[in-house]
Every structure is written in C-alpha cells, then in structure tokens.
Amino acid sequence: FMLDLERVVKIGDLFSIYGSLLTDKQQETVKLYYFNDLSLGEIAEHKDISRQAVYDNLQRSEETLKSYEQELGLAKYSKLLRTEVDKLEQVIEKISPKLESAEICKLEEIKKRLETYQEGDFDDF
C-alpha cells in the first residue's frame, strides 16, 4: 500500500469534500493513514485490529470517495471553478488601472463570492 504524492493529494481533496459521508471508522482510518502518516501496522496496533483489516478499510474508503466523485463530480467542479477564479483575478489585475475604484471593488466582491462558493459555502447563494 504505497503512497505517492499525487494519490495523497487526490484522496485529501476527495476527503475534504466527501469525508463526512464515510463512516466514523473509515474517517478515522483515512485521517490516521493520509493525514497523520501512520503505517498500516501502526494503525492496526492503535485500533487493535489486524493490518489486513486496516488495508481493507482504506481500500473501501478510497473506493467510496471515488464513487462519490464519479457520481457527483464536486471535486472536478471545484477545480474548474478555481481555474476560472484565477483567470478572473488575472483580468482584474490587468484592467484595474483603467477602472474606477468602485468598479474594482465590485469585481473583487464577485471574485470573493466565487472563492467562497468554491470552498463549498453556499449560505449567501
């Protein structure tokens, strides 16, 4: 069960979006393995279960996270939104010398709202 940076980042992204949908046991195992960098053996010892049980739990957790993304696509949406916010920021930077400060403030407010939405906060939507 080797970790590579790309996999850690992907699971971290998926966990930040869908982690609360996992069981408490799955959440704890994912956190211990991916965020606390504990080995399968260390987790097994900590939870007083077999190393195989830890491995199976991680496999199920990863598959569950991936299936949520496949069905809902929120991580993909978040990444696309981030790209568009970055583009907007570049445009604001480029055109701001030609605009009134009130116009710049309006654009900055839009950018800030988009960033908030990208983070999953839709309270003001």
Please state, in angstroms and rounded to a whole number, the distance separating the CA atoms of residues 98 and 61.
Answer: 51
Please state, in angstroms and rounded to a whole number, the distance separating the CA atoms of residues 48 and 61.
Answer: 19
Q: Which residues contact 111 (CB under 8 A, 6 or more apart)?
A: 85, 88, 89, 92
Low-confidence ranges of the chain (pLDDT < 50): none
Asked if residues 82 and 118 have their Cβ atoms less than 8 Å apart, the reply is: yes
Asked if residues 29 and 57 have their Cβ atoms less than 8 Å apart, the reply is: yes
Please state, in angstroms and rounded to a whole number, the distance separating the CA atoms of residues 105 and 87.
Answer: 17
pTM for the predicted model, two decimal places: 0.76
Alpha carbons within 13 A on the beta-carbon side of 32: 21
What is the pLDDT, as a whole number, of residue 63? Answer: 97
What is the pLDDT, as a whole number, of residue 41? Answer: 96
What is the pLDDT, as a whole number, of residue 121? Answer: 65
